[in-house]
Amino acid sequence: LYFVDLSTAIMEKDDEPQATRLFRLTPREGAYHVEKEVLFVGEQSGRRNKEQFTLNHNSFPDQEFLSYERVETSVHTGTHLDAPYHYGSTCEGKPARTIDEVPLDCCYGPAVALDVQGTYSGNLITVQDIQRAAERLPLEISEGTIVLLHTGCDRLFGTPEYYTAHPGVAVDALVWLIDRGIRTIGIDAFSFDRPFKKMVQDYLQDGNQSHLWPAHIFGRRREYFQLEGLANLDALPRPYGFVLSCFPIKVRGAGAGWVRAVAIFEDDQH
């Protein structure tokens, strides 16, 4: 098997709409931290002064205990899957599925990457862009395929432009894919919709609600799952003939979950 990691790392960051905080203890810090915890247990059991019953940093081999991390961030940070509940409370007239309810078979299966780099105009990936890219594949996109839109915007990751220079996916492009039995669609950009500022500016110009998060809100009418924040699609040895694994972390009732997206090639033809 040959694996290509299509995910970004969760890390301490200030530039996203919500900052990510990572609280860490190294194994050495853990050894000192546990002293305080054990002192508290000792106090409760009346063994406060009995040195032999306390743990301290010398109690552990190499004076190291266990590392520990706590992450404070959004479920939309980094590579993640959006569930229909993120788009609205109902989907196709039924209560929208939350991330823990996304069918597992939508998170694992044959996948293709459509090269739309530089082809989108007017900030939108249109149905024509998708069709042209699909025609360049040596196979038909069959029902249930996971379709990844390769924009190249992951190159902006770590810069302010990552949030302001990506395209959105046009609703007619989504219709075309969903009509072909596609349920999971990915993108190597911050969002499926155009940058916040562009959508809001257009809305303020003419008051038309369709400028605001059209791709997300379309997910109320037709169920599909958005894989956002992919990376590294350049590293795929070919844009078809692989399996994508993108199971989201199971946060009960949440609208999204972090994903380790991995492309898996079963042969050696890379």
* Contact (CB, 8 A) for 99 and 254: yes
C-alpha distances in angstroms, 177 versus 118, 146, 147, 169, 186? 20, 10, 8, 11, 12
Q: Least Å distance between CB 38 and Zn ion?
A: 42
| Residue 147 C-beta: closest distance to Zn ion, Å | 17
Closer to Zn ion by CB, 115 or 228: give it: 228
Query: Using CB atoms, what's the residue nearest to Zn ion?
Result: 76
Q: Which is nearer to Zn ion, 17 or 50 (CB)?
A: 17
Contacts of 247 (CB under 8 A, 6+ apart): 104, 107, 108, 259, 260
- Of 65 and 87, CB closest to Zn ion: 87
CB of 76 to Zn ion, least distance (A): 4
| Rounded least distance, CB 85 to Zn ion, Å | 11
Burial class (CB in 10 A: 0-12, 13-18, 19+), 142: exposed
Binding site for Zn ion (CB under 5 A): 76, 82, 228, 256
What is residue 259's DSSP assignment? B
Q: Using the minimum distance from each CB to Zn ion, give the nearer residue, 124 or 230.
A: 230
Minimum distance of Zn ion from residue 183's CB (angstroms): 16
Look up tokens 């996304």; give the residue.
102
Cα–Cα distance, 132 to 152 (Å, whole number):
17
- Spatial CB neighbours of 252, under 8 Å, sequence gap ≥ 6: 98, 100
Tell me whether residue 82 or residue 115 sits nearer to Zn ion (CB atom): 82
